[in-house]
Structure 1
Amino acid sequence: IFKILDQNKPELVLLDVQSVPAGQEGWLAFDVTTASNHWLLHPRSNLGIRLYVETEEDRSLSAGWIGLVGRRGPRSKQPFMVTFFRENQVPCRPPRAVKPHPRRKKPKYDLPVPNRSPANSGGQPCKKHELYVSFSDLGWKDWVLAPTGYSAYYCDGECFYPLGSCMNATNHALIQQVVHLLKPDEVPKACCAPTKLSPISVLFYDDNNNVILKKHRNMVVKTCGCL
């Protein structure tokens, strides 16, 4: 499979090669990451990709003649591209406790602040961390066709007091954190957990060996927060 550089000239860049024995049935997966990364930076350079089929004797064959399904085939067997985008994560620093100005009158609706401050454990604040899940490592490669894995991410870290806006804390977490400072042996700290998740599409075989494309909910952590 090649990336097209010029429609008017035979200028191609090799992206990937697959060796397919006669009689094989199933999906062919090609790595076109190099092309897609370049197209994201230079969209006008996207002239598409081209597939060639050759025998070991370098004899060209028609893709349709050897059985490759094209755009006219069944919808469940249409060629498609799987792309993953990594979200930029802004580092979150632990907020500092700020003492109110002595001349400023404290509003009645403010939460009470205990006269004790938690010990600094030196841990990292609650945030999203990298986690790539490989379906092959899970033993699912025999029935999951695509993708081969995905970036699931996970949440980890401490919910420091006071809880800053970058920690996406709920009102319940704010109250729980205050009560924890007053009664540390009775009430635990607020926990770092996913606050927003997104789905992924998975192509797999069902029990009847039918190829199914299904969107699974709540598979990727988008944001973390204190709950």
Structure 2
Amino acid sequence: MGSRKSTEKTAEEQRRQRDRIGANVSQAEYERAHREYLKQVQLSHDGQKFRTRWDLHVFQAAEHPGNKSSLGFSLRREYHRHSLYFPVAVSGNAEDITIDHASLRFLLEGDHRRPRDLEALIYLRTPVSRRLLLRREIPQGEPTDSRWMELDSTEATSSWLEDGLENHGLELEFLHDGRPTRREVSHATLNVFTTSEPGSGRRKRSTPEELMPLHKGRRSRCKGDNNKKCCRHELTVMFKDLKGFEFIVYPKGFDAGYCKGRCPPRYNPAHHHALLQSLLWKEDRKRVPKPCCAPSKLDQLMIVYFDENQSTQLKVSYWKNIQVLECACS
């Protein structure tokens, strides 16, 4: 029975991986789904004391002074690279805005040659040099088909908007079997997700999981010496690190949280029965077990994910009871 379940689980993971590789979501569909996602997140936080705003800023590749063309190839040392410049600018007080995530999306044109290992490299351009930011393998589907690709560009965008580095754009390079090769791209777009809190001053850079802030219940948050007793601990989960979760597009990760700690008598009981059980355990430890630290309040997480029936579509929905908000002894 165990072997059968394991086989079924492996088959499901492989199916989801194929769905991810076969997905071909356009920039227009990407924008539509993520704007719907951000709208729902915004609505769920309306009425809070501090007005937080979540936005998606979209920038198209444009001409850059000194460049012949932002989408042309430069041929240096037999390297074929795309020079991409995006006029990144976000309105508002820079101290109140934090970059949550940025992604470079482009349409990779089909290649009629036999399929081989393909890698994409992103460089941050400076006036005198360039620095490698990302090197990622690209799964090969049908080599003759054009496909939309997405590469993480958070580091580059943050360096321009948060660190004050002058924006000289990016360079995109492709390798076949470890050797530079020419691949055509079009519709290069930089998608930047931001969080702004007017009057708050810039905080530490957000992670995608912070789009769903956690309610801190009484005696729930771990701090100081209290973390030895039952309380909520942080647990950051990145979907890219979990097999079978490749179908989730956004958020990239979140704070799932977990409960851990001692449950002394009368300490933070989840309900009257838990209080009674803790007192009975104190009187006679053989009569009943000691209450355990467990989630007392869970929350949902909104996600953007690939439509398993339509490879060009994205869906937005809630994942119920996935985040631990509060812990108690039960």
Q: Shorter chain as normaliser: what TM range?
A: 0.5 to 0.7
TM-score of the superposed pair, with normalisation by structure 2: 0.39
Letter in 2 for 1:138: L
Tell me by how many angstroms 1:214 deviates. Answer: 1.2
Go from structure 1 to structure 2 and tell me whether the alpha carbon gap of 1:30 and 1:219 turns closer, same or farther (over 3 Å shift): farther
Which consecutive residues of structure 1, in runs of 5 or more, have no partner in the other structure?
A: 8-13, 39-51, 57-64, 70-77, 95-122
Counterpart in the other structure of 1:137: 241
Local SS of the residue matching 1:195? strand
Go from structure 1 to structure 2 and tell me whether the alpha carbon gap of 1:19 and 1:212 turns closer, same or farther (over 3 Å shift): closer
Tell me by how many angstroms 1:128 deviates. Answer: 0.6
Give the alignment partner of residue 323 of structure 2, picking from 208, 220, 226: 220
Local SS of the residue matching 1:140? coil
C-alpha contact 1:27 1:145 (8 A) present in aligned 2 = no
Alpha-carbon distance in 2 for matches of 1:6, 1:135: 31
Tell me by how many angstroms 1:125 deviates. Answer: 0.1
Residues 23-51 of structure 1 deviation map (CA, whole Å, 9 limit, x = unaligned):
3325565538849x97xxxxxxxxxxxxx
Local SS of the residue matching 1:162? coil
Alpha-carbon distance in 2 for matches of 1:92, 1:144: 35
Residues 52-104 of structure 1 deviation map (CA, whole Å, 9 limit, x = unaligned):
89988xxxxxxxx94579xxxxxxxx99768433657463766xxxxxxxxxx
Local SS of the residue matching 2:228? coil
Matched residues, percent identical?
25
C-alpha contact 1:125 1:157 (8 A) present in aligned 2 = yes
RMSD, aligned CA = 4.4
Counterpart in the other structure of 1:84: 209
C-alpha contact 1:141 1:148 (8 A) present in aligned 2 = no
Alpha-carbon distance in 2 for matches of 1:194, 1:2: 46
1:169 aligned to 2:303? no
Alpha-carbon distance in 2 for matches of 1:16, 1:206: 22
Letter in 2 for 1:154: Y
Letter in 1 for 2:223: P
1:156 aligned to 2:279? no
More helix by proportion, 1 or 2?
2
C-alpha contact 1:153 1:220 (8 A) present in aligned 2 = yes
More strand by proportion, 1 or 2?
2
C-alpha contact 1:203 1:211 (8 A) present in aligned 2 = yes
1:147 aligned to 2:289? no
Go from structure 1 to structure 2 and tell me whether the alpha carbon gap of 1:200 and 1:29 turns closer, same or farther (over 3 Å shift): farther
Alpha-carbon distance in 2 for matches of 1:2, 1:168: 55
C-alpha contact 2:230 2:293 (8 A) present in aligned 1 = yes
Tell me by how many angstroms 1:177 deviates. Answer: 0.4
Question: Structure 1: which 4+ aligned runs deviate by more than 6 Å?
Answer: 52-56, 78-82
1:31 aligned to 2:154? yes
C-alpha contact 1:177 1:190 (8 A) present in aligned 2 = yes
Counterpart in the other structure of 1:4: 89
Tell me by how many angstroms 1:221 deviates. Answer: 0.9
C-alpha contact 1:168 1:224 (8 A) present in aligned 2 = no
Go from structure 1 to structure 2 and tell me whether the alpha carbon gap of 1:5 and 1:137 turns closer, same or farther (over 3 Å shift): closer
Higher relative contact order (CA 8 A, sep 6+): 2
Alpha-carbon distance in 2 for matches of 1:161, 1:3: 57
Alpha-carbon distance in 2 for matches of 1:174, 1:140: 40
Is 17-26 or 198-207 further displaced after alignment? Answer: 17-26
Give the alignment partner of residue 187 of structure 1, picking from 288, 294, 301: 288
Letter in 1 for 2:316: L
Tell me by how many angstroms 1:19 deviates. Answer: 7.5
Letter in 1 for 2:147: Q
Go from structure 1 to structure 2 and tell me whether the alpha carbon gap of 1:172 and 1:2 turns closer, same or farther (over 3 Å shift): farther
Go from structure 1 to structure 2 and tell me whether the alpha carbon gap of 1:30 and 1:147 turns closer, same or farther (over 3 Å shift): farther
Alpha-carbon distance in 2 for matches of 1:219, 1:92: 26
